[in-house]
Every structure is written in C-alpha cells, then in structure tokens.
Amino acid sequence: MTKMTESTPDAERESPSSENLPVVDVDQRSRPLEQELDRDDGDGRSRDQPAVAGVLLAGGTSSRFGSENKLLATIDGETIVRRAARTLLESDVDPVVAVLGHEADRVRAALEGLPIETVVNEAYDTGQASSLRTGIRAIRDREEKCEAAVVALGDMPFVAPTTVNALLTAYAENAGDAIAPAFESVRGNPVLFDERFFDALGDVDGDIGGREILLGSDASVLVAVDDPGVRRDVDHPNDL
C-alpha cells in the first residue's frame, strides 16, 4: 500500500475495500460538463451542468519530509503543489481555490501564473480540518454559488484530471452526493462533496477531514478508476 502523508486524513491512509461503499463505473474520458444530460426528476435523473469548485489543501507542515517543504519539492522540474493544482485546473472544476498555511508566501509563489485563488489558513498547525474549513468557507463566500466541491490534497501530484472528471460525471448522473475514487477497490483521493455537506465540513475537527462524512452518509459512493495516483502521495523524499 502506498504510504500516506501527515497531511492526509486517517481515513485516506487506511482505506480498506471492506468499507462496503457502493462502486459505480463512469466514462473517465475528459468531457465538458455541458455535455451532461439535462436534469430529470424521475429515477436515474442527472444534474444539469452542476457548478463544482475545486479546493486544494496545501497548508500542512510536512514534518516527516525533513527540513524542506515537500510541496515545493520538484518532479520533472515542477513543484508538487503546482502539479496538484494543475490536475484540478485541467479538469472541469471551476473555480479552484488553494488553501495555504505553512510557508504560505513560498507556496503562493509556486502557484504564480495559474488561474487559481488562494486563501490562508492561519490555524494550519491545528490539523487538516482547519484547512478544510477555510476552503469550504471560501467557496461559500463566493458570489457565484457552487453546488459541490472536489477536495484535493496538495501532496498528491499524481492524480489524473480524468479522475476528477469521473467524479464530476458520477455527480452529474446523480450517483451520489459524496463521491471518492477507488483504484483496485481501494478508496483514494480527491473526494467530491455536495453542498448539503458544507455545514458539516465546516465543523470538522483535528486531522480527520471529511472521512466521517464520506463513510457515514448513505449517499456516498466510490467511482472505479484506472488511476493509481489516487492512492499515491509524497511522504518522504524517496516517494518522488
């Protein structure tokens, strides 16, 4: 099993296939959301062009990586956090908001030039939940309403944009309201949450993130993806 980082909630570190969440298959090809079916209020209905934001959690201290901020380490000349941000930007989520914390100015500089909004979580050292709360608050404070948010981790630079779009497709097809990818039957990241969970996400504590919401809702599903990146993050330098 791929090692997970300190910025990854316990649920994402250990995600056994025995969680018994239903698994759905969708078309993973990248396609604009405007191609989705119109809403149908009957059985099998789909949402019409849902507005889904991307929230990138990039505020952790990366203490197990050593003295260097792991988000600023590079893969093929590009920082980890920038690669993670591009995954969201190259998918159909809009807008994308990055939540910064530890070394916020340096991380913001690494994202320079990307069409991404940034907010700072001043309480980043209290755990990932504070960054999640900050990100959800930023989405809710926008003038344009978002119906859902894809919450991604800044230390997971190997996720494919098509995986994010698979979550969006499942959501548009009304497969569930809390949706995570699964590679080889094991749950990974990122996770999509419908707006009905925003209040609960705004109350999460410590370093758990949205695990209890995902696992505790009867509207949660997994989307089968052929993407090992959903289970691969950067914990130590040799993970690069």
The C-alpha atoms of residue 161 and residue 28 are separated, in whole angstroms, by 9
- Per the CB < 8 A criterion, the answer to whether 58 and 8 are in contact is no
The pLDDT value given to residue 34: 43
The C-alpha atoms of residue 126 and residue 192 are separated, in whole angstroms, by 23
The pLDDT value given to residue 233: 80
| Cα distance from N-terminal residue to C-terminal residue, the chain | 16
The pLDDT value given to residue 1: 32
pLDDT in tens, 64-115: 655 688 899 999 999 999 999 999 999 999 999 999 999 999 999 999 999 9
The pLDDT value given to residue 68: 80
Prediction pTM value = 0.83
Burial 186-211 (b: 16+ CB within 10 A, else e): bbbbbbbbbbebbeebeebeebbbbb
The pLDDT value given to residue 204: 84
Residues in the chain: 240
The pLDDT value given to residue 10: 37
The pLDDT value given to residue 209: 66
Q: Tell me which fold the domain 21-26+47-239 belongs to.
A: Spore Coat Polysaccharide Biosynthesis Protein SpsA; Chain A (3.90.550)
In the chain, which stretches have pLDDT less than 50? 1-18, 29-45
What are the extents of the domains in the chain? 21-26+47-239
The pLDDT value given to residue 60: 80
The pLDDT value given to residue 128: 87
